[in-house]
Amino acid sequence: MLTSYVEAIREGILEEMERDPNVFLLGEDIGVYGGAFKVTAGALERFGARRVIDTPISESAIVGAAIGASFMGLRPVAEMQFADFISCAFDQIVNFAAKCRYRWNAPVPIVVRAPCGGGIHGGPFHSQQNEAWFAHTPGLKVVLPATARDAKGLIKAAIRDNDPVIFFEHKALYRKIKEEIPPGDYTVPIGKAAIHRVGRDLTIVTYSAMVHVAAQVAEIVAREGISLEIVDLRTLVPFDEATVLESVRKTSKVIVLHEATMTGGFGGEIVARITEKAFEYLDGPVLRVTAPDTPVPYSPPLEAAFLPDADKLLAKVRWLAAY
């Protein structure tokens, strides 16, 4: 049976709540309404109002309460209705949760779920990919699954982790991506990339929804005799440098692809690691395909022009393959 991305995340959360009575949920409209995207649908009926808590509209309070609860031995899963709104909880996350392990070796086993990304015509306040804010903050783990299987395995791993995890779920994938997932209890390790597609001529390093854009392009160029290898990072922090470098050393050409805007995006960090540690293997420049440095447009035609897509990536792949 095929399971959608949103169903996989829901299954993972509910399984962890069943397994561990210390796991509880909090966020805006997550209980009675089942969440803005219905990720937590059915949780209130199954586990009751003590473990599925509808909160006021205050992201700072949601994360602050989650941190306090984690100090008391609980494992909160906090939902930001949209990843953009996480900025209201920025101080709690980067100046408190991220620092507790360093300051007094205190675990902060919280998960902050952040529905992210464009493609749903949400405009500039409901469509951002803001993972780079948190990848730059030591003490946080940053997770961005691209597939239903990984989404379930990673949300379970995140809930079991003793450090704060920012869990980015791409909204455009919720009901678009479906696949068979393994039966029974399983996790996907945080900090380990996956080879989404094996290739020989050129590496695409990417994550989240852009994995599927890369796969689309790989099918097109395969008919032209170009073999793409796709590295799905799955997590940015910890960063699986070894898998990326191994792929680059094999293909000698690489494109870094992400939906977030270019300047200060995590792609720049990936490019730097490659040029520092695999420069002698490169047969061409390391390229980036990203969104431009503007807010996300609301207009559907402008949003389409803004987002990285198959046509934009295809042009770069063909250019670099011929370099």
Q: Which domains does the chain have, with CATH numbers?
A: 3-179 (3.40.50.970), 194-321 (3.40.50.920)
Nearest to 300 by CA among 118, 116, 117, 121: 121
| pLDDT for position 145 | 98
**CA 292, CA 209: separation in Å to the nearest integer?**
17
Biggest CA–CA distance in the chain, Å, is: 60
Q: Which structure tokens are listed for 200? A: 């020989």
Q: Phi first, then psi: give them for residue 300, nearest 5 degrees.
A: -55, -45
Q: How far is CA 170 from the centre of its chain?
A: 7
Exposure letters 107-129 (e unless 16+ CB within 10 A, then b): ebbbbbbbbbbbbbebeeebbbb
| pLDDT for position 132 | 98
| pLDDT for position 241 | 98
- H or E element in which residue 167 lies: strand 165-170
pTM of the prediction?
Answer: 0.97
**In the annotation, is 212 catalytic?**
no
Q: Which residue has the tokens 């995140």?
A: 158
| pLDDT for position 27 | 98
Other CB atoms within 10 Å distance of the CB of residue 226: 19
Q: How far is CA 303 from the centre of its chain?
A: 20
Q: Which of 121, 126, 196, 258 is catalytic?
A: 126
Q: What is the pLDDT along the chain (323 residues), one digit of tens a residue?
A: 899 999 999 999 999 999 999 999 999 999 999 999 999 999 999 999 999 999 999 999 999 999 999 999 999 999 999 999 999 999 999 999 999 999 999 999 999 999 999 999 999 999 999 999 999 999 999 999 999 999 999 999 999 999 999 999 999 999 999 999 999 999 999 999 999 999 999 999 999 999 999 999 999 999 999 999 999 999 999 999 999 999 999 999 999 999 999 999 999 999 999 999 999 999 999 999 999 999 999 999 999 999 999 999 999 999 999 99
CB 306 within 8 A of CB 274: no
| pLDDT for position 134 | 98
